[in-house]
Structure 1
Amino acid sequence: MGFIHRKTSKQTGKLKTLLGLAVARIAAARRPRLARKCIATDDVRQLLTLGHLDRAIHRAEQVIVEDNMLEAFEMIELYCKRLIEHAAKLDKPGECTEEIRKAAAAVVFAAGWCGDLPELPFARSILADKFGSDFAEAAKDGTGIVDPMLVWKLSGDATSMELKKVIKEIAVENNIVVDFSELQEAIKDGED
């Protein structure tokens, strides 16, 4: 019995190490994403200034993608920290609170979507061992216990509402006049 308990403790220790590395890597992964977001935002501004609304819309999609990923990183970081903080409870998964199960599910789901964080697939396998294959499968699919906002940030496409919002914000910040009726038409053309 003691041998099994030690194995679980080692597994939990390894999980804590992996999640700690993922948190550190998130900090490094943010920098290039922030740079790409800034460049794409500046491109949208320049394209709007030149009157190339259709091209600005395509570039705004990149702004949204980078922004969604940055927000997903923040969420993943919080979930990783929560699991590290409550790691002792992971040795008895049946006694874990809903908050811990939600954090575990988020890490399992994110592992399939975040190539920037190579530690997560290893953490996913440990969490699958701890919580069971049914839990892991549901979490991988993003159903049930996984935070719907995280699912949307990692897997969602830019909607026309988001595109309009980003373009409006950039236009207002830079005192650029945009014909929003033309904007709506350009977005519809892009969806076809």
Structure 2
Amino acid sequence: MGFFHRKTSKQTSRVKKLLKLALSRLAIAKRPRLARKSISRGDVGQLLALGHLHRALLRAEQVIEEDNMLQAFDIIELNCKCLIEHATQLDKPQECSEDIREAASGIMFAARWCGDLPELPLPRTILEDKFGSDFAAAAKEGTGVVDPMLVWKLSGDRTNMELKKKVTKEIATKNNILVDFLELQEAVKQDGNGNGSHC
């Protein structure tokens, strides 16, 4: 039994080490996403200025995608820090607080969705062993104690029209451009089923 406990402690330090690496990677991974978000917002503004509302809405998907990922990165960062700070408690998962269980489930969920963070799959496997298959299954599905905001930011629908309209309107307001979504609805109706160009 003592041997098992030592083995678990070794696994815990491995999780801690990998999560510290993930934190370093997060700082690097944020930069290109911030740049793409800024460029995409500029593109939406230019398209609106040229009167291309439909194309601006399509471009807004990129803004939403980058923004969602950046917000997900912030949550993942908090989860990593929580697990690093309270790593010793991972040796007794049944006694872990709700915060630690949420952070562990968040890392398990994020590992599936974040190709930007190759350090996460191994901690996920170790955490699965520690917390058990039922906990792991719920975490992978984004249920249980996983932060709903993390689930939504990583797996939400960036093509949601209301969200695209909201982002487009916000960018239009910032650029002093008036946007009429009723005009767009009329154009879509005239186009049949709205199967226009998606460029």
TM-score, with length taken from structure 2: 0.91
Q: Is the 8 A contact 1:57 1:187 kept in 2?
A: no
Alpha carbons of structure 1 residues 175 and 12: separation in structure 2 relative to 1, 3 Å: same
Q: Indicate the residue corresponding to 2:10 in structure 1.
A: 10
Q: State the alpha-carbon separation in 2 of the partners of residues 46 and 156 from structure 1.
A: 26
Deviations 1:53-86 (A, max 9, x none): 1100100011000000000000000011001111
Q: State the alpha-carbon separation in 2 of the partners of residues 88 and 77 from structure 1.
A: 19
> What is the 5 A alignment of 1:24-173?
24-158=24-158, 159-173=160-174
1:131 is aligned with what amino acid?
F
TM-score, with length taken from structure 1: 0.94
Report the RMSD for the aligned CA atoms in angstroms. 1.7
Number of residues paired by the alignment?
191
Q: Is the 8 A contact 2:37 2:66 kept in 1?
A: yes
Deviations 1:79-129 (A, max 9, x none): 110011110100000100111111100000000000000011011001001
- Regions of 4+ moved over 4 Å: 183-188
Q: State the alpha-carbon separation in 2 of the partners of residues 50 and 94 from structure 1.
A: 59
Q: State the alpha-carbon separation in 2 of the partners of residues 155 and 176 from structure 1.
A: 31
Identity fraction in percent? 69
Q: State the alpha-carbon separation in 1 of the partners of residues 68 and 76 from structure 2.
A: 12
Q: Is the 8 A contact 1:37 1:66 kept in 2?
A: yes
Q: Is the 8 A contact 2:135 2:144 kept in 1?
A: no
Residue 63 of structure 2 aligns to a residue whose secondary structure is helix
Residue 117 of structure 1 aligns to a residue whose secondary structure is coil
1:76 is aligned with what amino acid?
I
Residue 25 of structure 1 aligns to a residue whose secondary structure is helix
Q: Which stretches in structure 2 are left out of the alignment for 5+ residues?
A: none
Q: State the alpha-carbon separation in 2 of the partners of residues 62 and 115 from structure 1.
A: 17
Q: State the alpha-carbon separation in 1 of the partners of residues 166 and 183 from structure 2.
A: 14
Residue 80 of structure 1 aligns to a residue whose secondary structure is helix
Q: Is the 8 A contact 1:164 1:183 kept in 2?
A: no
Q: State the alpha-carbon separation in 2 of the partners of residues 86 and 122 from structure 1.
A: 18
The offset of 1:180, in angstroms, is 3.0
Residue 170 of structure 2 aligns to a residue whose secondary structure is helix
The offset of 1:145, in angstroms, is 1.4
More helix by share: 1
Q: Is the 8 A contact 1:105 1:136 kept in 2?
A: yes
The offset of 1:144, in angstroms, is 1.7
